[in-house]
Structure formats: structure tokens, C-alpha cells
Chain A
Amino acid sequence: MFKYLLAKNEDIPHGASAVYWGFSAIVWFVIGTGLGSFNAAKLAFPDFVTGYEFLAFGHMRQVHVHAVIFGWISMAFGMAMMYITPALGNTRLWSEKLGLWNAFLWNIGLSLGLVVLWAGMTSGREYSDFPWFIDLYIITFMVVPLGVNVWMTIINRRTQGIYTTNWFFGAATFMLAIVFTVGNLPEFFHLTGLTEAYLTWWFAHNVLGLWITPVAAAIAYYTIPKVTGNPLYSHRIGHLHFWSVVVFYSTPAAHHLMSAPLPEWLKSFASVEGVLILVPAIAFVSNILLTMQGKWNMFVENIEVRFTVTGCLMAIPLNMQGGFQQTRAINWYIHGTGWIVAHAHLALLGFSTFLEAAAVYLGLQSMMRRKLYSLTLANIHFWLLLIGFTTYWVSMTIAGLIQGAGKIYEVPYIDVVIAEHPYMIARWIGGTLVFVGNCFWLYNMWMTARAGTEVPQGRMPHELAYER
């Protein structure tokens, strides 16, 4: 891969950057979930690895969070954009070279950022923990170049139309740049107090709502029609989905601070908008499931479809939680408890990871023109992810309900900690299963590159029989 960094753009084979992004994403996923498993072990067994500042929970938690958000999820998005955007425009990527450099700088910047966070150099703002010089790097060398490549590819398309997936890709990269810049204003200009607190959560909400959720959904809009061969069920529902994401998902930031003294009208506004995130969710789920008509056998037989549809089904509980847990009627009970941790993992490890995993499976096979090395390993990966995640989600949801009850019945806090202990162990087991599954995945994709059966021109990888 590195030899192409200094090659001429024309000499770089089609898809090289997608492959680089894809493998980077999988490696970050292994690192991120490994860190997650390690952190969970520390919560279950507090004396597990002790006495080293750099292995303390408080130094590692944010490294886990940013490794999965910016490493795994965002790089898998980059991967999807590198091969889906040109495919939908019947063209080639605007610049493979920019794509490669972008991934290279992304890996460098993220490694630097994580080391900085690990050392404790943090802005102290959740989700925008990176200090401002890393933020500037992310905007300049990570987010904007990705956007430029996507926008230029869309502009230079050879179709008149832009398919739904590309609306999302183009808009989400643009919105990410805006959100990143505005959300970090408190660090650039030292804004303080409630402004700082509110912008912290404005950023945290919108980086999920305008980047992770729409791009993950956009990927499903590609994988399902592509692999099943069905037309997308409805162009109209696509409109409803896209516009409701931009309009409704960008507004409820204040619902993260329902218990802070923000103006009440802002909470009322945000809370209504927060329930309305169900609109894009309804549109997305209905469109994808209706597109599956007549091809439901592929849900069982095909690994990409199985990942995508599972992720899509997870959008239902995800948005039911997300819509209602932020209202005044429910928020007071579960705010700040493990319920929210479970919800966040449902969004990132459930919904979006499953959709991206499908895109990475499909993209790596198509771009390398190699059939997946082992379907068995892929199945093991799927089930370890699903079982591990479900264990995690169920145990943290229960722990959250216990915490909520402890909070309102004024139970001494230590009793809550004792009651949660079994669920902390279950969470650690669940997280570890996910980590193990990802190690299998990395091996499987590596072997696909080395020893996968070649896919002939004009065929889809899943149309070929497995040889082993």
C-alpha cells in the first residue's frame, strides 16, 4: 500500500484506497474492542492490573471510545465511500492518491490523538476529548480531504442522477466538518460555563446523528439492493429519510443535558425533536425491509445481507430507546446510568457496526476481487459479535435499571455497586466475545487477500461457490 503513496494517480489500481481504509478499519476495530474488553475487566475486577498510571481506567476509557468511533466506524465509512461513491456514479474515484493519503494521515492523526489522550492530555469534554491541536489536525487532514474526494467524485459522476446513498455521503461529510468545527469552538476560543457544556453535547449529539447514523444507513441503501439485486423499494421513502435526518437529527442536542440548568424552552424543543428521530428510523427500516421482498432466503444464506438486516433490525430498539429515553417523563430515571451505556453500544456496536461490517466484507471482496477465504470464520464472526453484543446490552440495561431504582429510592450508593457487580462481569464477557470475533475477522480478511479465490470480471463475490 505504502508504495502507492508516491505513485502517480493513474498508476494506482482502482480500489487501492478502499482496501487500505478497510484493513485499517478492521485493525482499529480489533484494537478498540480489545481496549473495551480490558476496561470492562477493570470495572468488574478493580484490582485487575493496578498501580500503573497509563493502565488506569480513567486513562483508557476515552482511548477505547475514540479508537472505535474514529478508527473503526469512521474508517469503515471512509472505506465504503471510497468504493461505493464511484460505483454509484458509474465512474472511478476522483483521486485514489488522495484517498490513500487521507487514510494514511487518518491513521497517523488518530494514533497521535490516542497517545495524547492516553497520557491524560485531554480537553475534559466528553466525545470532544481531543485537545484543540488534534481537533485542527482532524478537520484539516482527516475530515475535509475525505469530503473533497467524495464531493468531487459525485460532481464528476457519469450519471445524471445521484443515488440516495450518495446524498447521504456528500451531506454527512459536509456536516461532519461543520459539526467538528463548531463543536470545538469552546476549545479554539476558550468559551466557558454553560456554553462549553452545551456545545460539548451539541457536538456529541451531532457527531452521532449527522455522521454515524446517516452514513451507516446509507451503506445499507447500497448493500441490500446490490447484493439482492432488487430495486430500492421507494425513492420517496428515501426522501423522507434523508430530509428528516437533516432536519430532526440535528436539533435535539439539549436533551443530553435535561438535568442541567439550560433554558427550559430549549429542553422542550429538543425533547420533541428527540422523539421525532423516529421518523428517519421508520423510513429507513421500512425501506430496507421492503426492498428485501422475495429475497429473504439471503438473510440466512448471505453474510453481507445477514449483517445488514440484523443491523437494520437493531435500529428499531435503538430508536425506540433514543426517542423516548430523553423525554422528561423517562430521562429522570435512567439518565447517567448503565442504560445509556447500553444504548450507546446498541447504536455503535449494534446498529452501525453491523451495517459497516457488511460494507467492509462486500467492499474488500469486490475491490480485491477475491472470494472470502472462509465462510465458517465469517459465520463465527457474526455470531460472536451478535451474542457478545447482546450479552453486553442486556447486562448493561439491567444494571442501568438497578442504578435508576437506586437513585430514586435513595439507596446508599455502595449497595448499587454491589448489585451491579454480576452485570459488570457479564458485560466483560460480552465485550470479550466481540473482541475475539474481530480477531477471527482480521485473520479471515488477511487470508482472503492472500489466498482467496479470484472473482472473475463482471461477477459478484457472493455468486461464486465457496471452495473450502
Chain B
Amino acid sequence: MNFREYKVGARFFALALGGSMTITLLLPSFDISSVSATEVALDKQLWAGHESGFSLDDPLLLGWHRPEKVILKTDPKTGQPIEATTAYVYDKGTPFPGGVLHPGNLGKVSERLSINEGHINEANKDQGAVFLVRSNDQKQYYIEDATVTRGWNPEQVLKAAGDSNTYYASAGKSIFVREGCWWCHTLLPEQTQDWQVFGAPPMLGDFNGESPTAFGSDRKAPDLLHVGSRNASKEWLMLHFFNPRLVQPHSIMPRFDYLWGKVDANGKPIDYDKWRKEYSEYTEGKRIYPPEVPMYASNSDARHLIDFILNLK
């Protein structure tokens, strides 16, 4: 350590940086990797799918290769009425979520049950799969591959559920990421006071398998982690997305009318210029009522995003 002696300095540097990385990366990794997935995490990763950000399966975040969440009221195979069951439909070629690919992420108990009872290791991407979240008598939650255990295949399940009971929440989450909703709407109620309004903060195991978590850091708008429990009105959400100032005059949210695409639910082209002109007249007081918001098509981005929002319970 002479003045102008750098060998020792370089070793000290390696020691300092290595020590820092040991404490901040290696030590917490033991804690974080030992976390077991909660019921919330199983549900979340199954509806959100493998990845909501950029991936080779959906490079433009347009909602390709996405699972659907459906509520079944009849058995898709026999057609007999059953108790309402939530199923997660992975069509052929849709990548499976982290917990199915790497059951170790689920935690020891859930991993054992998911493999032994749920047969998730038999799921096959080329054939597609239908997953369920199940629990045993001791309230231990696990994933079941209903394609193996019950012979349900994706097409049957989608048909049995029908469009009104199908939620494109996964495609919706990628729009949430793509459109940068999370630059203003956080997905993390804080551990202090604000959870009285926005709901309980998430628990430790609630994120297993989710990517990206998209907590957000710069909150300029309400937290959305539990928004589906506060507001479940599709009509309100539709107006709000088309032009937030239709339902909340002081909102600073951008208009997301372009998520409607070219045509409305009836296949009629949407005339945005006319709508904006009439809306301007309304804001200037020349019209009493704002123009009608067109109903979104059932395969539009708007539909997917609204399904995602309704799914945030």
C-alpha cells in the first residue's frame, strides 16, 4: 500500500465490490428463493402467463401466445353443470408460466403436490394445457394440469366457457406494460397508511413466477393492485379508457381511444376525427352531451386491457 502502488489497491477493490455483492445478492437470494408461492401467486402466474414484457413469443407485446382465464359452469367434456371453476387455458404453443416450467419456484409443499397430484410435469406445450388451482384439506395450494387429470383440452374449455366468461387478462397485462400504465399506476399498495384506500399490500409469496412485477415507482394515479375489487363496471372502464375526462373531469390520464382499433363491436369503422370534433364542441359548451363512446370489439386491445383490470382483485 505504498503511495502509487496499485496491486494492493486492485485487490482491495475486488474485495470491496465482491463483499458488497455477496451481502446484497448472495445472502438475500437464500431468503428469497425459499419463499413459497401463495394462492395469489399461483393464480397470478397462471393468468399472466410466462412473460408480460418483451419475449420472442410476443416481441411487439401485441398479445400473441397468451393464456386465457375462464370461469367454467359446465364440464367441458360431459356438458354437465359443475360448480363455477376457474381454469387457465394455454393453447397450443403458448409458453407455460415459471411455476410449471420450474416447479421449484413454487416452494417445497406446492411443488410436491403440483407434481404428484397435479401432474404438471406432464404438461406439453405442443398440445396445450388447461390448468387449475387446487387445494387439499390442509389448505395447501397447488397447480393441477386438467388436460392430464381430467382430459380437458383447450378448445373444449374455451367453447364451454363462452366469450362472456373468458378473460384476456394476460394479453391485457402486456398492454399494461406496453402502454406504460405502470409509469403512473403502481401495483404495490404500501405497507403504511395508504393501504386503507388501495387495499392490503401483497404478501411475501405473492409474486412467485410473475414477470415483470411492474410495481411502478412514480405514483401519479391510484394504485391498481386491487382495483377489480373496488370497481367492476365494464361500462365505466370503457368510458374511462376512451377518454378519462368523460367520467372524471379532473383526470390527467391520457386518452387510450386508439386501443379500440379500426372497428367497433359491430364491425363498423370508428370515425375518431368526428368523435374528437364533437367532444371538443362538448367541452366548449356547444353540445349538451358528449358523443357516444363506441362499443369495443371483442378481440380489441381495449377488451384485453379491461379484462386485465377486472382481474386485479
A–B touch (CB < 8 A): the answer is: yes
- Residues from chain B with a CB closer than 8 A to the CB of A262 are 28, 32
Determine if B276 and A261 form an interchain contact, defined as CB atoms under 8 angstroms apart: no
Partner of A260, one of B45, B50, B215: B215
- Residues from chain A with a CB closer than 8 A to the CB of B271 are none
Partner of B210, one of A123, A192, A269, A335: A192
Min Cβ gap B8→A in Å is 12
Complex: chain A residue closest to B181, CB-CB:
A58
Bound Cα distance from A119 to B178, whole angstroms: 8
Q: Is A51 an interface residue (CB 8 A)?
A: yes
**A193 with B211, Cβ < 8 A, contacts A178-B17, A262-B28, A340-B218 known:** yes
Q: Which of B36-76 contact A (CB under 8 A)?
A: 41, 45, 50-54, 59-61
Determine if B59 and A50 form an interchain contact, defined as CB atoms under 8 angstroms apart: no
Partner of B258, one of A53, A131, A254, A332: A53
- Residues from chain A with a CB closer than 8 A to the CB of B6 are 162
Q: Which of B221-264 contact A (CB under 8 A)?
A: 221-222, 244-245, 248, 250-258
**A123 with B24, Cβ < 8 A, contacts A50-B254, A198-B32 known:** no
Instruction: Map CB proximity to B onto A385-419 as digits: 1 under 8 Å, 0 otherwise.
Output: 00000000000000000010001101001100110
Partner of B255, one of A50, A256, A337: A50
Instruction: Map CB proximity to A onto B1-34 as digits: 1 under 8 Å, 0 otherwise.
Output: 0011010010011001101110111011101110
Determine if B207 and A51 form an interchain contact, defined as CB atoms under 8 angstroms apart: no
Q: Which of A108-125 contact B (CB under 8 A)?
A: 119-125
Min Cβ gap B58→A in Å is 10
Q: Is B166 an interface residue (CB 8 A)?
A: no
Determine if B59 and A246 form an interchain contact, defined as CB atoms under 8 angstroms apart: no
- Residues from chain A with a CB closer than 8 A to the CB of B192 are 259, 332, 408
- Residues from chain A with a CB closer than 8 A to the CB of B201 are 259, 261
Partner of A125, one of B28, B53, B178: B53
Q: Is A228 an interface residue (CB 8 A)?
A: no
**A243 with B177, Cβ < 8 A, contacts A119-B60, A261-B203 known:** no
* Size of A's binding interface in residues, CB under 8 A: 79
**A56 with B179, Cβ < 8 A, contacts A46-B251, A202-B24, A254-B24 known:** yes
- Residues from chain A with a CB closer than 8 A to the CB of B127 are none
Bound Cα distance from A59 to B51, whole angstroms: 19
Q: Is B291 an interface residue (CB 8 A)?
A: no
Q: Is B197 an interface residue (CB 8 A)?
A: yes
Determine if B210 and A417 form an interchain contact, defined as CB atoms under 8 angstroms apart: no
Q: Which of B25, B45, B54, B218 has the most CB of A within 10 A?
A: B54
Determine if B221 and A413 form an interchain contact, defined as CB atoms under 8 angstroms apart: yes
Q: Is A62 an interface residue (CB 8 A)?
A: yes
Complex: chain B residue closest to A205, CB-CB:
B24
Q: Which of A121, A160, A261 has the most CB of B within 10 A?
A: A261
Q: Is A454 an interface residue (CB 8 A)?
A: no
Bound Cα distance from A175 to B17, whole angstroms: 8
Q: Is B266 an interface residue (CB 8 A)?
A: no
**A251 with B20, Cβ < 8 A, contacts A51-B255, A182-B25, A193-B207 known:** yes
Q: Is A171 an interface residue (CB 8 A)?
A: yes
Bound Cα distance from A191 to B25, whole angstroms: 14
Complex: chain A residue closest to B180, CB-CB:
A58
Q: Is B290 an interface residue (CB 8 A)?
A: no
Determine if A193 and B208 form an interchain contact, defined as CB atoms under 8 angstroms apart: yes
Complex: chain A residue closest to B221, CB-CB:
A413
Determine if B179 and A59 form an interchain contact, defined as CB atoms under 8 angstroms apart: yes
Q: Which of A270-306 contact B (CB under 8 A)?
A: 270
* Size of B's binding interface in residues, CB under 8 A: 84
Q: Is A250 an interface residue (CB 8 A)?
A: yes
Min Cβ gap B277→A in Å is 12
| A-contacting 9-mer, from B135-143, B150-158, B183-191, B292-300 | B183-191
Determine if B17 and A124 form an interchain contact, defined as CB atoms under 8 angstroms apart: no
Q: Is B212 an interface residue (CB 8 A)?
A: yes
- Residues from chain B with a CB closer than 8 A to the CB of A260 are 188, 202, 215
Q: Is A139 an interface residue (CB 8 A)?
A: no
Determine if B59 and A414 form an interchain contact, defined as CB atoms under 8 angstroms apart: no
Determine if A123 and B254 form an interchain contact, defined as CB atoms under 8 angstroms apart: no
Bound Cα distance from A192 to B101, whole angstroms: 12
Determine if A51 and B276 form an interchain contact, defined as CB atoms under 8 angstroms apart: yes
Min Cβ gap A125→B in Å is 5
Determine if A61 and B54 form an interchain contact, defined as CB atoms under 8 angstroms apart: no
Determine if B60 and A417 form an interchain contact, defined as CB atoms under 8 angstroms apart: no
- Residues from chain A with a CB closer than 8 A to the CB of B103 are none
- Residues from chain A with a CB closer than 8 A to the CB of B20 are 246-247, 250-251
Bound Cα distance from A421 to B250, whole angstroms: 9
- Residues from chain B with a CB closer than 8 A to the CB of A195 are 29, 32-33
- Residues from chain A with a CB closer than 8 A to the CB of B122 are none
- Residues from chain B with a CB closer than 8 A to the CB of A403 are 219
Q: Which of B192-214 contact A (CB under 8 A)?
A: 192-194, 196-197, 201-204, 206-214
Determine if B222 and A124 form an interchain contact, defined as CB atoms under 8 angstroms apart: no
Determine if A124 and B212 form an interchain contact, defined as CB atoms under 8 angstroms apart: yes
- Residues from chain A with a CB closer than 8 A to the CB of B35 are 193-194
- Residues from chain A with a CB closer than 8 A to the CB of B25 are 182, 202
Determine if A43 and B220 form an interchain contact, defined as CB atoms under 8 angstroms apart: yes
Bound Cα distance from A246 to B20, whole angstroms: 8
Complex: chain A residue closest to B182, CB-CB:
A124
Determine if B214 and A261 form an interchain contact, defined as CB atoms under 8 angstroms apart: no
- Residues from chain A with a CB closer than 8 A to the CB of B213 are 193-194, 196-197, 200
23 residue pairs A–B, Cβ–Cβ below 8 Å: A47-B255, A51-B276, A57-B183, A122-B54, A124-B177, A126-B216, A131-B59, A160-B4, A161-B4, A192-B105, A192-B208, A192-B210, A193-B32, A196-B207, A198-B32, A251-B24, A253-B24, A262-B32, A332-B192, A332-B193, A336-B217, A336-B218, A424-B252
10 new A-B pairs (CB below 8 Å) besides A192-B208, A256-B217?
Answer: A51-B276, A58-B181, A122-B53, A126-B217, A131-B53, A192-B98, A261-B203, A261-B204, A263-B28, A263-B32
| A-B pairs, 4 with minimum CB distance | A58-B180, A124-B53, A124-B212, A131-B54
